[in-house]
Structure 1
């Protein structure tokens, strides 16, 4: 926790303000510092990685019997040691502000676009049931996934747990924040919008023996709308 309180001491103008800010922050994230809380967060990261990249997930979980525990320091300290100091402070502020969480305005806006794209059946009497999003996929999990995916080639070459530990150590003060943030935001929005495409293809893009020209045109236009 010294790593966390040091950020408040650096940014704020007094130890008193730093203390109370730290207390408020810890009341929010204290579960993460317990074994149960950390395991829950790692489990969520594993679920997210499996959805985003099944190949990488299968390889990492095969050689890491504890399933992504090599990422625990990233999630516990908010990636403080992976970025240069000022960038780490900036990322801490972003994560503390609940940037792009599943219950945020941005996420709800994305889900609204899904609802608009939901095609009604039988003249509007029925509508496709979209897959629910997992609201406890916090933005820090997408940041973690972005780092893993950006280093996928290196991770696929790892053969055991020691290789994974060496991999995490090699990233200290080496990562650049802007590209990782861009990748994490891309993953976030792709996750929010991905379910509608799955449903659409399942219900409306099944192979047809005969398709009229108008039906084919409708498919093209709907694909354009959904990708927008």
Structure 2
């Protein structure tokens, strides 16, 4: 939880305001932290539906990676550990202010996979290897190009993207 609370406190500088912002954010993401992980399961399923890349999907299927658990940390803490601190603030603000979708973070995850598509497809990775690759991207991702790709994916996905994310809060 400190991954999410610390940036709020640093930006807001008022503990009471940061607390209430954190409480509202946790309420929005409540299902992600439920014992049955219902929110995360729904997000990972939506991510799977948003990845419109048959060869990459087939690769993940052959490697028994269709659970998309390799992206779990990305979604649980909204990419907090994947980018530099100032980029995380920009990312969160962009996600929270995005008018086209409340699920921009999912499109960002698709953008990361698309950006690293060649590496994934040419590697002989099992689930653990793919998880290590995803964790190893921390600090090496460039936010601006990924956001551009994610926003383009939102437009490209259109109604199909809205349907893929319809069950999410």
Q: TM-score per shorter chain, which class? A: 0.7 to 0.9
Give TM-score, length-normalised by structure 1: 0.65
Q: Is the 8 A contact 2:5 2:18 kept in 1?
A: yes
Give TM-score, length-normalised by structure 2: 0.86
Partner of 2:74: 74
Which digits, 9 at most, give the CA deviation of each residue in 1:67-126, with x for residues without a partner? 210001001111111111100111011122244217xxxxxxxxxxxxxxxxxxxxxxxx
Tell me if 1:139 matches 2:141. Answer: no
Q: Is the 8 A contact 2:48 2:66 kept in 1?
A: no
Q: What secondary structure is seen at the aligned counterpart in 2 of 1:75?
A: helix
Deviation at 1:143, TM superposition (A): 0.6
Q: What secondary structure is seen at the aligned counterpart in 2 of 1:81?
A: coil
Q: What secondary structure is seen at the aligned counterpart in 2 of 1:10?
A: helix
Tell me if 1:41 matches 2:48. Answer: no
Q: Is the 8 A contact 1:84 1:175 kept in 2?
A: no
- Cα distance change on mapping 1:158 and 1:74 into 2, 3 Å: farther
Q: Is the 8 A contact 1:158 1:164 kept in 2?
A: no
Instruction: Count the aligned residue pairs.
Output: 158
Aligned partners of 1:62, 1:98: CA distance in 2, in Å? 35
Q: Could you say which structure has the larger radius of gyration?
A: 1
Q: What secondary structure is seen at the aligned counterpart in 2 of 1:154?
A: helix
Tell me if 1:95 matches 2:98. Answer: no
RMSD, aligned α-carbons: 1.9
Q: Identify the range of structure 1 (186-195 vs 88-97) with the bigger mean alpha-carbon deviation.
A: 186-195
Aligned partners of 1:75, 1:193: CA distance in 2, in Å? 22
Partner of 2:117: 152
Aligned partners of 1:158, 1:2: CA distance in 2, in Å? 35
Deviation at 1:5, TM superposition (A): 0.5
Q: Return the structure number with greater relative CO, CA threshold 8 A, min gap 6.
A: 2
Aligned partners of 1:46, 1:2: CA distance in 2, in Å? 28
Tell me if 1:190 matches 2:159. Answer: no
Q: Is the 8 A contact 2:44 2:72 kept in 1?
A: yes
Partner of 2:147: 181
Q: Is the 8 A contact 1:61 1:68 kept in 2?
A: no
Gapped regions of structure 2 (runs ≥ 5): 162-169
Aligned partners of 1:144, 1:16: CA distance in 2, in Å? 32
Deviation at 1:165, TM superposition (A): 1.4
Aligned partners of 2:49, 2:19: CA distance in 1, in Å? 35
